[in-house]
Amino acid sequence: MTILKFELKKLLKSKLTLISGAILILLEIYMLLLGNVGHEPCSIIGDPYGKDDNFRYLRTLKETKQYAGEMTQEWYDNVLAEYNAYINDPANLKTDEEIERLKEKWRADGYSEDEIEAMQKDRYYISKDFYTFPEERVLVEVNMMFGLMQTDSDEFIPYSERMAKYAELADSYREDYPGEKGEAFAKLVGDMYTDLSENVTWYYDYDTGWWNYRGIHRLFPMFVGLMLVIALSPLFTLDRARGTESVIACSRHGRGKLTRHKICAGFIFAAGIWALMELIAFIYTAAVFGLDGAETMIQLDLPRVPYMLNQLQATGLVVLTSFVGAMMSAAMIMLVGALCKGQYVTLIISGVLTLIPSVGLVYIYLFGEDSFMERVLDFFPPRMLASVTEWERFDLVYIFGNALPMQYLLIPVALAAGVIMTVGCYISHKNRRPAA
């Protein structure tokens, strides 16, 4: 325990760690306040969508909670009636003089008369205060599936029927993948959507906080990943740089014991940094957006993702995957440090492995988005850290005659890879010959 405490103190008291940690924590807070990192509709110091008053719009979204309940035709009719009452009340619309002034502006901007005629009928332009109109937000959300963006349709398509339609689309896998592979894919996807169609009671609720909380994880490769690169790069290289490796090697069991404690210190530090960033994100989300709508199914916004998950379950998966990604990142950086001779070489290599896969430059420009390389990069530590990206997609793999969602392999493969890298780090550092 004495060696472990010593190694942790070295990590925590390093000037480079303290300075970079403070900068990255402040940067995370700044990015959260600035907004536009996930699905959030407003921010504190920024204006991501050009709204006059972001918090006024957030209040509008929170007012949609009054329509929380089972999504039936009766529920839909109630929302639609409130919508029509608003849009048909002259007190809520621009006056003729305001519309004329707006049309003059459009003419000055170069719009044709036909375009102006169409625009002046748009609810966005005729509403006096469009962003304080919760019924519009509800109707857009429930009609957007299948490209139905209108808000005045009298017919509500139950989500059970919508999921059944997607189950029918599973037949396309038979055309795309002839043979047993296509049959396996079609059956799996059909069964998943059938479960959503038959075994889910669909509720509407305000759930912006959950989308935002998961979306913040997109920034974790920079905040958590970069912090680990900076702090852990010297863990196995500093002794060599200081020339103390030969002293450690004099002890028969010294190198093995020291290596184990260094690895433990690295994982404890990684877990602490990840937990701190996670706590900041959680507190901010709960304070600004709230955590209502935990039982809302994610298919209200992600119809092409057939996992049977509500907002709470989906967020739990993202948090767990991100934590595994943090541990995997620590193992990767420590392995690079054990294999390399210098701290800066370790820093550069670990930085490249951490940042490049997260921004997607490799597969976008060299291999293509649907390439085998993209599937490989999905299992890289930075992609695991930004785990929301993985769970908002749906990819299939065919293994030993069985179809399986690729996302189900993320955590098992990451854990196995982390163990392998940790063992490799231990063996490499324990058996490394001291610098002359």
Amino acid at 227: M
Would you call 127 helix, strand, or coil by DSSP? strand
- Residue 150: CB atoms within 10 A of its CB come to 10
Q: Give the burial class of 384: count Cβ atoms within 10 A of its Cβ; 0-12 exposed, 13-18 middle, 19 or more buried.
A: buried
The Cα 315–Cα 326 span in angstroms is 16
Tell me the DSSP string of 296-348: SBGGGT-TT-----BHHHHHHHHHHHHHHHHHHHHHHHHHHHHH-S-HHHHHH
Q: Please state the domain count of the chain.
A: 1
- On whether residue 130 sits in a domain, the answer given is no
Domain span at 329: 2-47+214-431
Written as six digits, the tokens of 232 are 């852990």
* Domain-located, residue 277: yes
Hey, what are 291's tokens? 């955590």
Show pLDDT as tens, one digit a residue, over the chain (436 residues): 677 887 788 877 788 888 888 888 888 888 887 776 655 566 666 665 555 567 778 888 899 999 999 999 999 999 989 888 888 888 888 888 888 888 888 898 888 988 888 887 776 777 877 667 888 888 878 876 544 444 556 678 888 888 988 888 888 888 888 888 889 999 999 999 999 999 999 999 999 899 989 988 988 888 898 889 888 888 877 666 555 555 555 555 567 788 888 889 999 999 999 999 999 999 999 998 899 999 999 988 888 899 999 999 999 999 999 999 999 999 999 898 888 877 778 888 888 888 776 655 455 555 555 566 667 777 888 888 888 878 888 888 888 888 999 899 999 999 999 999 999 988 887 776 655 5
Q: Establish if 153 belongs to a structural domain.
A: no
User: Is the separation of the CB atoms in 209 and 292 below 8 Å?
Assistant: yes
Q: What does the block give as tokens for 199?
A: 């075994």
Q: In 10 A of CB 367, how many CB atoms?
A: 14
390 within domain boundaries = yes
Would you say residue 293 lies in a domain?
yes
CB 337 within 8 Å of CB 233: yes
Instruction: For tokens 């509720």, name the residue.
Output: 203
Q: Is residue 291 part of a domain?
A: yes
- Position 400 in a domain: yes
The rounded radius of gyration (Å) of the Cα atoms in the chain is 27
363 neighbors 371 (Cβ within 8 angstroms): yes
> Quick check: is 318 in a domain?
yes
Q: What's the farthest any 2 CA atoms get from each other in the chain?
A: 90
